[in-house]
Amino acid sequence: MDYSIGEMARRTGVKVTTIRYYEGRGLIDSPARTEGGQRRYDRKALDRLSFLRHARDLGFGLEDISELLALAEHPGEDCAPAHDIARRQLATVERRIAALVRLRTELRRLAEADDPGTAGDCRVIDVLGDHDLCLGPHEGAAPATDPLPRG
């Protein structure tokens, strides 16, 4: 069975523009085309796109996903590199969680500040205007390492 790009998008939840982007990056093979020029993907492409979507949902960058896909193409290869990639991603997620916990603490402190009620004496406005009044450095959730949306 083959699938149009729209069907691939519906089945995986990946936007059509993202599928084209993945194709351009070589993460999905360029599909055969009908006489009318419509892309027609096979089951392998659908499975690969589903893999990509799940990996992106877990926060993996495209370079790591490319490495994981290459490993998947060689089932006899050592699995250790895949575990290394997963450990690196876990460490990244743990750093982001720690940064978000710090951010939550700072925001809670600001939100619960006892202010007299006027904007001129508002602690939230003071702290946002003077970063030195904050508890410490803020790292927030870092942006993805590539410009592609998750879906």
Read off the pLDDT of residues 40-74 as tens digits, 9 standing for 90 and up. Answer: 999 999 999 999 999 999 999 999 999 999 999 99
The pLDDT of residue 24 is: 94
> What contacts 30, CB < 8 A, 6 or more positions away?
23
Residues 41 and 2: beta-carbon distance below 8 Å: yes
Q: Which token pair is 52?
A: 């990509």
CATH code of the domain occupying 5-59: 1.10.1660.10
How far is the C-alpha of 122 from the C-alpha of 143, rounded, in Å? 30
Work out the burial of residue 28: count CB atoms within 10 Å of its CB; fewer than 13 is exposed, 13-18 middle, 19 or more buried: buried
Work out the burial of residue 87: count CB atoms within 10 Å of its CB; fewer than 13 is exposed, 13-18 middle, 19 or more buried: exposed
| First-to-final CA distance of the chain | 24
Mean pLDDT of 4-27: 96
The SS3 of residue 30 is coil
- Threshold 0.85, pTM exceeds: no
Mean pLDDT of 131-143: 54
Residues 66 and 60: beta-carbon distance below 8 Å: no
Mean pLDDT of 14-41: 92
Read off the pLDDT of residues 88-133 as tens digits, 9 standing for 90 and up. Answer: 999 999 999 999 999 999 889 888 877 777 887 787 887 777 767 6
